[in-house]
Amino acid sequence: MRVATRLMLTFSLVIALTVLIALASSWQQSKLADSLEEIADNRMAKVEKFTRLRDNVHIIGRVVRNSMLGKDSGYVEQQRRRVGELDGLNDKLMAELDRLTVLPEDRALLQRMQDIRAVLMRQIHQVVSLSTQGQVDDAVRVLTKDAAASQTELFKLVDESNETQRQLALTRAHDSQEQAHRDAALMLGLAALAAVAGLLLSWQFARYLGRMLGAEPGELGAAAQRVAEGDLSSLPNAQQAPAGSVLASLAHMQASLASIVAQVRASSDSIATGSSQIATGNGDLSQRTEEQASALQQTTASMEQLGSTVDHNANSAGQANQLAQGAAQVATQGGEVVARVVSTMQGISDSSRRIGDIIGVIDGIAFQTNILALNAAVEAARAGEQGRGFAVVAGEVRTLAQRSAEAAREIKSLISRNVEQVEQRSGLVDQAGATMQDIVGAIRRVSDIVAEISAASTEQSRDIRQVSEAVGQMDQATQQNAALVEESAAAAESLRQQAQQLVSAVAVFRLQAGARPAPAAAPLTAPAAKAAEARAPAPAAPVSRASAPAPRPQPRPALALQAADDGDWASF
């Protein structure tokens, strides 16, 4: 349990006992106040009201007697009004007594008193009436006998009630006094119990605090001061300290600190040596990074030259594609012309065949004309002299028919030869048209291939530009890595210096015998200066770059390493 919790519980218990005592006292005081209030506001108030009622009745009797003796009518009337006022006061007193009375027997007694008072007041009024009428003897008789008897009985009841209220008040006062004595004894007992409980709790808390501390606070402060001053030797009286106490924890802390300091002393030299090796390796890495940057620059230049060559090839392929497309269009037009020539030759061949057919018809007509002329000559010969002229005409017709037949045969022969030649030339033209179609198809295929070559060259040029840009970015990253390597070398040198400072800082601690640390290593010459030397990259071929590379970041100066500052190492 925590010390603060125990302390709070201890004081809480004491406070709870104190509050309990206060509550009990307040409760008893409240009961005593209730008793006193009942005595003052109930019992004594009733006694006071009964006394006033008795006094008012006495005064009423005296006023009545005075009115009987008085001769002045004004005085008599004044006394009568006085009787009415006193009777009204008694009515109010009886009403207040009725309000204060709770018990049935008291209310019955009060009712008897009210009845007797009513009888008495009727008798008083009768006396006043008789006195006014001049019947003084009758008035005196009623006053001295009837009214006096009623008054005596009323006073007896009033005295009895007063005595009852006084006895009740005395009884309640005696009870309150005894209760006050009992309450005082109870308060004293509770106070004694609270005192004993407080002492026991204080003693228990003191023992618990002693076990928790293990020693006096001054001794603990001295032990902590020894550790703060660097004295890590064993603490006195630490072996007798209870387990888990502050002194035992201080002793454990001292032993742990001594072990840690010994390990730190032993490890600081290794840190210094390792940091020197890191600095050397960073210098070599920086040199190789510079060489890699130079090679990347040369690669970038070569890629740019290759990109220019590919761009030129792409342009040439584009021009060849345009020429091939033009040749394909010309060949297409030639093929169309040849097709029209073939169509024309076919028309000529058809026309020659039709002419041949017509010549055949003419030849047939000539043959039939010759036969008819021959028949006409035969018939003319038969006719003799009458048919001689007709025979001459028939001979001429036959001659003309023969000549027409010969001419038709010659024309037919010529047309047949022309038709054969046209058919031969038409076949050649068909072959020329087919050849032109083949040429057009071949030119189109060549145009498609050239277009594919142009597209591939364009894509290759774009890829080469992307590769060139990537190589340029690699060049920039390599240069940045070179700068970071130089920063790392500077940081390693700073780490070595901090290790030396750590050795010096740990040297202030005093350890026990047998815990001697290894001697600190001598400072080593860090190769950070070598790694930070400027190395000019190998000259690259002069080519036009698409975009200039980003400026190479300058290395930051080495800063003293702090325990919580790891920003440079995180970025590296």
- pLDDT tens digit at each of 572 positions of the chain: 565 676 677 667 778 777 777 777 777 667 666 665 556 555 676 777 777 888 888 887 777 777 777 666 677 677 778 878 888 888 888 887 777 766 677 777 778 888 888 887 888 788 777 777 777 777 778 777 888 788 888 888 887 777 777 777 677 777 777 777 777 787 788 778 878 877 887 787 677 666 666 666 666 676 676 667 666 665 666 656 666 566 667 666 766 766 777 777 677 767 767 777 777 777 777 777 777 778 877 887 887 787 788 777 777 777 777 777 777 777 777 777 777 777 777 777 777 777 777 877 887 887 888 788 778 778 777 777 777 777 777 777 778 877 777 887 788 788 777 777 777 767 777 777 778 778 877 777 777 887 788 788 788 777 787 887 887 788 788 878 878 777 877 787 787 777 777 777 666 666 665 554 444 444 444 444 444 444 444 444 443 433 444 444 444 443 333 433 444 433 33
Nearest to 356 by CA among 418, 290, 311: 418
Check residue 231 and give its pLDDT.
Answer: 63
Nearest to 84 by CA among 59, 116, 107, 66: 59
Contacts of 49 by beta carbon, 8 Å cutoff, 6+ apart: 93, 96, 97, 100
- CATH superfamily to which 3-213 belongs: Aspartate receptor, ligand-binding domain (1.20.120.30)
Of 1.10.287.950, 1.10.760.10, 3.20.20.150, 1.20.1440.230, which CATH number belongs to 260-571?
A: 1.10.287.950
- Within its chain, how far is the Cα of 66 from the centroid? 104
Check residue 227 and give its pLDDT.
Answer: 67
Instruction: Please list the residue range(s) of the chain that carry CATH number 1.10.287.950.
Output: 260-571
Check residue 510 and give its pLDDT.
Answer: 64
- Amino acid in the structure at residue 428: L
How far is it, in rounded angstroms, from Cα 460 to Cα 468? Answer: 12
Summary count for the chain: helices (H), strands (E): 11, 0
Instruction: Please list the residue range(s) of the chain that carry CATH number 1.20.120.30.
Output: 3-213
Q: Are 304 and 544 in contact (CB under 8 A)?
A: yes
Check residue 149 and give its pLDDT.
Answer: 83
Q: What is the DSSP letter of 41?
A: I
Check residue 188 and give its pLDDT.
Answer: 80
Secondary structure (3-state) at 231: strand
Q: Are 316 and 461 in contact (CB under 8 A)?
A: no
Check residue 555 and give its pLDDT.
Answer: 43
Angle, vertex CA 565, rays to CA 563 and CA 569, nearest 5: 110
Contacts of 211 by beta carbon, 8 Å cutoff, 6+ apart: 242, 245
Which tokens is 201 given?
């709790």
Check residue 39 and give its pLDDT.
Answer: 61
Nearest to 283 by CA among 480, 492, 489: 489
